[in-house]
Amino acid sequence: MSFAITESITWVGKKDWEIRKFHGEEYSTHRGSTYNSYLVRDQKIALIDTVWAPFADEFIRRLANEIDLAKIDFVITNHAEPDHSGALPALMKMIPETPIYCTANAVKSLRGHYHQDWNFQVAKTGDRLSLGGKELVFIEAPMLHWPDSMFCYLTEEQILFSNDAFGHHLASEHMFNDQVDRCELYQECIKYYANILTPFSRQVTKKIKEFVGLNLPVKMICPSHGIIWREDPLQIVNQYAAWADDYQENQITIIYDTMWNSTRIMAETLAAGIRSSDLAVTVKLYNAARSDANDILTEVFRSKAILVGSPTINRGILSSVAAILEEIKGLGFKGKKAAAFGSYGWSGEGIKIISSRLHEAGFALVNEGIRTLWNPDHKSLDGCYEFGSSVADQCPFATKQNGA
Ligand code: FEO
């Protein structure tokens, strides 16, 4: 299926309704994804990005139905990651001399992936490629999200092709943002930002300022995953600016794993303590062994503080908690508070280990954490309740209005 975006732009990508794990097993895609490729027809013809290799044959077949492949004058590779470049080897067998416009870093990456010496043309910010009546203007976007990433902007049509930036993993029967459920769309956008772009937030802020400073009118933003931003397209740019600014909602997230329910009971009592405060705070609980890691990381992104709990086992912590702490550290969250909790029977190092990892991950520890010996009794649970309330008190939450 292809789809006319405008008179001169045709979407020739692939909707992948089945995919549930992306980046190997690293990213959950509960709602599928798309690999967006765009054919731009003017006096010259450009193809912007391709699709993932498993869909290469289908892509080439559909593209050939749309246009004589020999008439493609330029291939634009905004980003070399295989979900967008995977069909290049098959395509370039058909049109081996066609120039590929991409950044210098993308040349390195494409050569590394495919070991082909294609007709690379290095694009830099401000370079323009004439299609006849319209031009493609290139804008390098390093670390949004790879060093090779690039946007391109189509003059006259006023369309930004942003590749991964402003994208999201969402397969939909629809093509445009005004046609889909806004909550689903934003849920996927924030998950995408939290899990992929958080480490690069400083670069996101800089790039958005630079892009806004160009004063380019934008009628649409066409990302490489998900739907196209047609209605108020700059809404997602403004949202990215907010997310990049050490974003927080009025939320505390409790992440734990448990062996015989002692740590789970502590988690639930901590949550009750947080809710007992007169502060407007949402509390969410996730068992790390039973929950999707990307969903948890999205909730960490939303939070002002997190509480992380594990029983002590073999002088360490449970592997599910160790794993999520490693992922939290990798994302480099900033400006968030944290504390550790957990039960123990013998040595009881768990909360020290968790506290240390939270500190390494850049979280401000609100205290030394709380632990309980064996199964928590009433006194221990009273301590957890007060602990939860005190953590909420140490975060900048507003007071509840009208007792809500
Ligand atoms: Fe969608 Fe970074 O690839």
Domain that holds residue 204: 3-243
pLDDT value of position 402: 61
Ligand 1: atom nearest CA of 225 is 1
**Mean pLDDT taken over the chain:** 97
360 and 320 in one domain?
Answer: yes
pLDDT value of position 25: 85
Answer yes or no: is 402 within a domain. Answer: no
pLDDT value of position 193: 98
Q: Which domain-ending residue is among 189, 215, 243? A: 243
pLDDT value of position 401: 76
**For the CA atoms of 105, 107, 108, 112, what is the dihedral angle to 10 degrees?**
140
Q: Which of 267, 289, 294, 275 is nearest to 376 (CA)?
A: 267
79 is catalytic: yes
* Residue of 42, 83, 268, 299 marked catalytic: 83
261 and 192 in one domain?
Answer: no
Whose structure tokens read 């992440």? 255
318: domain CATH number is 3.40.50.360
Give the residues of the chain that fall short of pLDDT 70.
402-404
42 is catalytic: no
> Which residues have CB under 6 Å of ligand 1?
79, 81, 83-84, 145-146, 164, 224-225
pLDDT value of position 365: 98
Answer yes or no: is 164 within a domain. Answer: yes
199 and 50 in one domain?
Answer: yes
Residue 82 alpha carbon to ligand 1 centre in Å: 7
Q: Which of 155, 175, 183 is nearest to 229 (CA)?
A: 175
pLDDT value of position 198: 97
pLDDT value of position 62: 97
Q: Which domain-ending residue is among 243, 271, 286? A: 243
Please name the amino acid found at residue 371. Answer: R
Residue 308 alpha carbon to ligand 1 centre in Å: 31
Residue 363 alpha carbon to ligand 1 centre in Å: 28
pLDDT value of position 271: 98
Total domains in the chain come to 2
Q: What confidence tens digit (pLDDT) does each residue in 355-369 have?
A: 999 999 999 999 999
Q: Whose CA is nearest to atom 3 of ligand 1?
A: 81
* Residue of 16, 27, 38, 79 marked catalytic: 79
State the Cα–Cα distance between residues 102 and 120, nearest whole angstrom: 7
Q: Which domain-ending residue is among 243, 276, 299? A: 243
Query: Angle at the Cα of 337 (from 332 to 343), degrees rounded to 5?
Result: 105
Sign of the alpha-carbon torsion through 210, 131, 38, 10? positive
